[in-house]
Structure 1
Amino acid sequence: MKNFLQHPSRKVFLLTLLFISLTFTHCTDLVEEPKGLLAPESFFKTIPDVEAGLYGAYSQFVSVNLYGRELSILLMLRSDMAAIGDQGTTADRKQVDEFNMNSENPISRNVWNAFFRTISAANTTLRAIPTVSGDQAIKTRLEAEGRFIRAFSYFNLVRLYGDVPYLDSPVESTAQLVGVTRTPVDQIYKTIVDDMLFAKQHLPARHTGDVRNRATSGTAATVLADVYLTLKQFDKAAAEARYVITNAQGLYNYSLERNYQNLFNGALAGSLKEPIFVTDWHNTIADGGVNEDWLISQTRMRGLFDRSLSVVVPTMNVYQSWDARDYRRAVSLEDSVMVNGVKTAITQAARASVKRPHIAKYFRFPGTQSAGDDRRADNDYHIYRYADVLLMAAEAIAESEGVTPEAIGYVNQVRERARFTGTKMKDFPAEVSPTINTASFISLVREERRLELAFEFKRWYDIKRWGILQQVFTGPNALEARKVDPARDYLLPIPLDEIRLNGWTQNPGY
């Protein structure tokens, strides 16, 4: 592979697209016959081959560069809910946290590359589907799955980088990339919606075993609700969220887990009904930099546990402002540890590198850890779960129709679950008042999302779509004080290699 990758006529952007993580290909194929690797007819012969291609695309979501570590860390550090803990961590992470990153930041570059690898794998598989023989209904379903993967990847890319190149076919030669430009965000959103609507229509309601790491029609409708909220098309967002809620218990087998803690217990991951789309760390779709759960080590207390780095740690303001009566705080945060048999506050633990409460969702109940390797845990990450849909519905209804009993009821469902501690019901958080006005209700829903979905990679996207960057980082109630520039900081920089080799204009301020 080395000789091909270093060929002087190749572009870095092309290399991004050529690294396709298909489980049935090898590096030598790329070296000896690059066009053969990329031409779908050369290796897709059957429907199982197509499924393998889709697994290759999905594998990027559980790679170290996306939810395995880099994307997860980026989204948490970019938000106001977590900051760098141990200052001995790498400079690229500090740059993300402090809003002073540049176009050479490797985390941003790795996320960019990984999403384009995913898109390339999806496009290659989509091109192959018409060429294989088999049941047309199955082929249409697989097309819907490939289009979901592509659309979900682009949904993340446009929220992170703004205008990006839109590609809807596999790259089979460098000539295809001559003159490639960044496509305007509004055009990309049209393709995202088209792909998701197709996916909603043609994906199954459930997969074999009711696995949640493959997209279903419910997954597509959930993402559509999120897309429409982002576009401020609140009536459409409400319709999609209502569709999921109406069909939740019957068609899709979705429901709120009774105990909030169970959502973050690896031993229970396979039995949960609340997840809609997850990263499953014990699937078998790929290996080598893939399927490794890094958030245990990134969020656990350095100095108190082996292989623990205290990289992503909430500020004290996050902990202190979170009402102690809220059971979700106890689940989300670890504020004490056992030291010589004595329960000790982390703030008082002499060996703790960072004396602040830590995120507990990923390390407290990881489940089985094969061969003692904590990167092989069972605790899936929730990309979407049913509580998220209830809160999206409440927000969309309030924005398009005003406060209604329906919208209030969705929030109350989430709050009722939060009152159960695993052993008893509490009286906090209280039900929403039926007389609340629209502005206050929308503010309440936003706060409910911050707490209910804490550290689940949602907060930065919410900050961006609500346009509250200055408010949350520089306002009087800022949880994490940062100097931010709204003209620059809603977007990440386009990787410098892409700017140099493609002649694109950089995002403002970088």
Structure 2
Amino acid sequence: MKTYILKIMLLILIGSTVGCDLEEEPKGLLSPEGFFQTPSDVQAAVYGAYAEFVTTNMEKSFFLALMLRGDMVDIGDGNTLADRVTTNNFTMDANNGIIEDSWVKLYQSISAANTAIAGARSINAESFIKNRLEAEARFIRAYAYYHLVRSFGDVPYLGGPVESVNTLNNATRTPVNEIYTNIINDLLFAKENLPNRNVSNVRNIGTKGSASTVLADVYLTLKRFDDAADEARYIITNKAVFDYALENNYQNLFNANVAGNIKESILTIDLKNNLNDGEYNPKDGMVNLTRIRDFAPRSLSVAVPSLKVYTTWDSRDYRRKVSFEDSVVFKGNKIALVNSTFRVPRPHIAKFFRFPGPQDGGDDRSSDHHYNLYRYADVLLIAAEAIAETDGATPEAIGYVNQIRQRARFNGAKTTSFPVDVLSGISNADFIQLLREERRLEFAFEFKRWYDIKRWGILNEAFTRPESLESYNVDVNRDYLFPIPQIDVNPPKITQNTGY
């Protein structure tokens, strides 16, 4: 239980205390130079940083919030937690519990990473070992901050271990551009010092390829399109080195029985991992949050597709079949979920509960899914979009989209004729719009849509037009960001986001 013991010691550091007023010296503050003696000590701390990110709390809070905030996922059963409802309909305030949970977990991961980084620098070991350990920690720190800065804007940037109360009491909001500079520096260091593949090819710990993928995404978000295209090309060129490839059958990406063998996966969340000493609690995970209430035990119908997502998606697209459960066999009869007697009579998200893998001890909430945070399809569409934004609809950019469409034409049994390839001669404007739609369908319900809406600046377009997939009153001056959790607002040091 070495990892668990270190986690307890390390993660007392900040938890939810960023911005809170502390009056005495915290008991868990460490001096990494004296605590860490060997690379194994530091590796355990690195695992602690990843383990804080890879938890069911993150799954049922942060990733659920990202799904609900977009225009493709709605609340099914309105009797669920009020914090989920207000996240979905843009009426949340600074006391929202799932946003608070998300903030705390992200900062706990950062805190543990900072301590691991200091430990890696302090131990007596060969430089390549020290650099790899530091790179693993800097990768997860960068990734956690990337979520924080997109979700909350200016946030306190803590770049080292918290070794005194003054670090916490004097924390202020760091400008977004400065945070992004730090994120990019961390990812460049990780790309340089991480291996091409991890031991046993596990993909829930950073690698050179995953660092490059996140870096390409960061550049795309910052509209540094040439850099994003170059970074994506680097991954495409070296895909064999990193062991990346499009999975032949789209359904396999959401089949937990084969999750550990998917070459398309670049960075995953594997809740049953070797990072957290078996501290796996399946309660309220994606399986039962999305599964059909009244059909299976402990199923909640919390996050369900917006009905227009289902009705406007061409039925010839195999990805639609994979993404939705629209009928079930109930008491020996196959019935359509729409207009059924179930509490939430509409199609449900099938990606997480259709093939959950072996479920521990008969607990039908557990899952063996390796949730894809990035997969090779991301790289192809990042490259296509970045090229389109600078050079237009080039044959290269079109070719990347057509690789995605070619895979979508295989329905698990045979190759069909839909979706058709994008043809040369398409206008730049039409191609960019097509790319955005391709991302929406390819990554449906995979925690990406809200970030796309945000970086494209299409909040009003997504929610207020007659053809919008969901209709809500939104405020562009407020709703692109979540509120800073109330527990961490300590004016004037940490101010609240506009409108909350």
Q: Shorter-normalised TM-score: what interval?
A: over 0.9
SS of aligned partner of 2:335? strand
1:22-421 correspondence runs (5 A): 23-25=4-6, 34-35=26-27, 37-66=29-58, 68-248=59-239, 250-286=240-276, 290=280, 292=282, 294-350=285-341, 352-421=342-411
The alpha carbon displacement at 1:40 in A equals: 1.7
* CA distance in 1 between partners of 2:202 and 2:8 (Å): 30
SS of aligned partner of 1:377? coil
8 Å CA contact 2:146–2:183 kept in 1: the answer is yes
The alpha carbon displacement at 1:347 in A equals: 1.6
8 Å CA contact 2:100–2:485 kept in 1: the answer is yes
* CA distance in 2 between partners of 1:468 and 1:137 (Å): 45
Normalized against structure 2, the TM-score is what?
Answer: 0.94
8 Å CA contact 2:26–2:165 kept in 1: the answer is no
Q: For residue 455 of structure 1, what is the aligned residue in structure 2?
A: 445
* CA distance in 2 between partners of 1:198 and 1:442 (Å): 32
Select 2:473's aligned residue among 483, 486, 501. 483
The alpha carbon displacement at 1:286 in A equals: 1.2
Q: For residue 430 of structure 1, what is the aligned residue in structure 2?
A: 420
The alpha carbon displacement at 1:488 in A equals: 0.3
Classify 1:198/1:28 alpha carbon distance in 2 versus 1 (closer, same or farther; 3 Å).
closer
* CA distance in 2 between partners of 1:305 and 1:98 (Å): 27
Q: Is the counterpart of residue 506 in structure 1 residue 496 in structure 2?
A: yes
Residue 267 of structure 2 aligns with an amino acid whose one-letter code is: F
* CA distance in 2 between partners of 1:401 and 1:421 (Å): 33
Residue 5 of structure 2 aligns with an amino acid whose one-letter code is: F
Q: For residue 6 of structure 1, what is the aligned residue in structure 2?
A: none
Q: Which runs of 4+ in 1 moved over 4 A?
A: 26-31, 33-37, 287-291
Deviations 1:10-62 (A, max 9, x none): xxxxxxxxxxx95223758969x955652224532211111111110101222
Percent identity of equivalent pairs: 55
* CA distance in 2 between partners of 1:290 and 1:104 (Å): 27
Residue 210 of structure 1 aligns with an amino acid whose one-letter code is: N
Residue 48 of structure 1 aligns with an amino acid whose one-letter code is: S
8 Å CA contact 2:70–2:453 kept in 1: the answer is yes
* CA distance in 2 between partners of 1:212 and 1:289 (Å): 19
Q: For residue 22 of structure 2, what is the aligned residue in structure 1?
A: none
Classify 1:312/1:45 alpha carbon distance in 2 versus 1 (closer, same or farther; 3 Å).
same
Alignment size in residue pairs:
487
8 Å CA contact 2:29–2:164 kept in 1: the answer is no
The alpha carbon displacement at 1:156 in A equals: 0.5
The alpha carbon displacement at 1:81 in A equals: 0.4
The alpha carbon displacement at 1:252 in A equals: 0.4
8 Å CA contact 1:22–1:57 kept in 2: the answer is no
* CA distance in 1 between partners of 2:480 and 2:278 (Å): 33
The alpha carbon displacement at 1:342 in A equals: 1.4
Classify 1:26/1:455 alpha carbon distance in 2 versus 1 (closer, same or farther; 3 Å).
closer
Deviations 1:138-164 (A, max 9, x none): 110111111111111111000000000
Residue 42 of structure 2 aligns with an amino acid whose one-letter code is: V
The alpha carbon displacement at 1:289 in A equals: 6.3
8 Å CA contact 1:60–1:118 kept in 2: the answer is yes
The alpha carbon displacement at 1:506 in A equals: 1.0
* CA distance in 1 between partners of 2:121 and 2:231 (Å): 30
Classify 1:224/1:421 alpha carbon distance in 2 versus 1 (closer, same or farther; 3 Å).
same
Deviations 1:112-137 (A, max 9, x none): 11111000000001011122222221
Greater shift, 220-229 or 41-50, is seen at: 41-50
8 Å CA contact 1:339–1:349 kept in 2: the answer is no
The alpha carbon displacement at 1:348 in A equals: 3.8
Deviations 1:349-375 (A, max 9, x none): 32x110010000000001111111234
* CA distance in 2 between partners of 1:330 and 1:27 (Å): 44
Question: 5+ unaligned residues in a row in structure 2: which ranges?
Answer: 14-24
Greater shift, 411-420 or 166-175, is seen at: 166-175
Residue 504 of structure 1 aligns with an amino acid whose one-letter code is: I
* CA distance in 2 between partners of 1:467 and 1:166 (Å): 25
1:11-22 correspondence runs (5 A): none
SS of aligned partner of 2:5? coil
SS of aligned partner of 2:143? helix
8 Å CA contact 1:161–1:491 kept in 2: the answer is yes
Greater shift, 341-350 or 457-466, is seen at: 341-350
Deviations 1:392-434 (A, max 9, x none): 1000000011111110000000000001001011111000011
Classify 1:42/1:307 alpha carbon distance in 2 versus 1 (closer, same or farther; 3 Å).
farther
Residue 179 of structure 2 aligns with an amino acid whose one-letter code is: I
* CA distance in 2 between partners of 1:210 and 1:289 (Å): 22
SS of aligned partner of 1:329? helix
* CA distance in 1 between partners of 2:364 and 2:143 (Å): 28
The alpha carbon displacement at 1:291 in A equals: 6.1
Residue 4 of structure 2 aligns with an amino acid whose one-letter code is: T
8 Å CA contact 2:7–2:45 kept in 1: the answer is no
Q: For residue 439 of structure 1, what is the aligned residue in structure 2?
A: 429
SS of aligned partner of 1:383? strand
Q: For residue 473 of structure 1, what is the aligned residue in structure 2?
A: 463
The alpha carbon displacement at 1:452 in A equals: 0.2
SS of aligned partner of 1:220? helix
* CA distance in 2 between partners of 1:290 and 1:156 (Å): 23
The alpha carbon displacement at 1:504 in A equals: 2.3
Classify 1:126/1:94 alpha carbon distance in 2 versus 1 (closer, same or farther; 3 Å).
same
* CA distance in 2 between partners of 1:28 and 1:430 (Å): 55
Residue 52 of structure 1 aligns with an amino acid whose one-letter code is: A
Q: Name the Cα RMSD after superposition.
A: 1.9
Question: 5+ unaligned residues in a row in structure 1: which ranges?
Answer: 1-20
